[in-house]
Amino acid sequence: MANARDIKKRIKAVGNIKRITKTMQMIATSKFARAQHRALATKPYTEGIFDLVTELAQRAGNIAHPLIDGPSDGAKGPEVHLVLTSDRGLCGPYNGNIIRLAMRQLRTTGDASKTSIEVVGRKGLTTLKFNNFQVEKHLSGYGDATTADLVDRLATEYMERFTSGKISGVKVVYMRFISTARQRPEVLQLLPLKPPATDEAEPSGPSAQYEFSPDPEQLLSDLLPEAVKSTLFQCFNDAVVSEHVARMIAMKAATDNAGKMGKNLSRKYNRARQAQITTELTEIISGSAALS
């Protein structure tokens, strides 16, 4: 009876776990739908800004700008690595893939004095500290409700530090959202901002001539900061939707596994109960035969 009783307790525990993981799966699915809509809605704007910067660079020739060339005095500080992770776990390999890529990237830099690490999310903070990486700043408040104003302030701070020579660049380590079935950890160079290079091998042909008003330098001064802000905001949006996808998949797998385990335990319980009933009947029959 003790064996059957233990199995019954395990069945109850597995059932409770299944209800919890099913609820978390439904919550992640709901959040994913909203996050995906926001990530896909901002992508055309981000790509459009870069198209404008590329077009301007192609038509106006080589134009210098502090966000591209850095400060004029040549002062160089450490390079900032911004690592985007989650505050909560139970999202499969999401945090592990990002942190492994970040640690590989940080180890390739060699000199720790030339690198500054800033982390979003408690998971990345604890793991990097456990692996003896010196985290300069933990940015809190960036989660599901990350707003454009919050990211704009962060991007503006990076641009001011870069143009003043306090930092030599900014790289973002995050999970890029490609589709529901595919997310990839990437390292994106945010600063210095380099517009895509022109393909010199393209055949020459008739091209449109532009008359700039205002001048190209003024246009670049307006477009480049917007490109930096929109790119960083897109990184945060991709990170959020990728986290929800990973949690949704992980919780679905956990729910399915709990269901399979519950069925196996039910079969074991039925066998144990049947063996117990058979034993009891045998004892009753044996006792009745002895008395007669």
**Where does the pLDDT of residue 65 fall: very low under 50, low under 70, confident under 90, or very high at 90 and above?**
confident
Minimal CA–CA distance to 120: which of 140, 147, 98? 140
Peptide bond into 206 cis (omega under 30): no
Of 277 and 128, the one with more pLDDT: 128
Minimal CA–CA distance to 139: which of 238, 43, 35, 236? 236
Return the percentage of the chain with pLDDT > 70, whole number: 89
Specify the pLDDT at position 283. Answer: 82
DSSP per-residue string spanning 135-200? EEEEE-S-STT--HHHHHHHHHHHHHHHHTTS-SEEEEEEEEEEETTEEEEEEEEEES--PPPP-T
182-191 and 169-179: which strand pairing?
antiparallel
Half-sphere exposure of 256 (CA within 13 A, CB side): 6
Q: Is 82 helix (H, G, I), strand (E, B) or coil?
A: strand
Place of tokens 């210095």: 192
Enumerate domains of the chain plus CATH numbers: 2-20+251-281 (1.10.287), 28-195+223-247 (3.40.1380.10)
Taking all residues of the chain, what is their mean pLDDT, rounded to a whole number? 85
Residues 286/21, Cβ–Cβ less than 8 Å: no
Residues 7/268, Cβ–Cβ less than 8 Å: yes
Specify the pLDDT at position 60. Answer: 63
Specify the pLDDT at position 282. Answer: 86
Per-residue model confidence as pLDDT tens digits over 175-233? 999 988 899 999 999 998 765 444 444 445 555 566 667 777 777 788 889 989 999 99
Peptide bond into 185 cis (omega under 30): no
Minimal CA–CA distance to 142: which of 78, 222, 77, 233? 233
Minimal CA–CA distance to 175: which of 105, 88, 95, 103? 95
Specify the pLDDT at position 207. Answer: 56
Specify the pLDDT at position 198. Answer: 44
Residue 277 has pLDDT above 70, yes or no: yes
Per-residue model confidence as pLDDT tens digits over 156-169? 999 999 988 899 89
Per-residue model confidence as pLDDT tens digits over 101-156? 999 999 887 677 789 999 999 999 999 999 999 999 999 888 777 888 999 999 99
Residue 91 has pLDDT above 60, yes or no: yes
Name the DSSP letter for residue 85.
-
CA–CA separation, 172 and 230 (whole Å) = 13
Average of pLDDT values for 255-276? 90
Specify the pLDDT at position 203. Answer: 46
Considering the entire predicted model, what is its pTM? 0.83
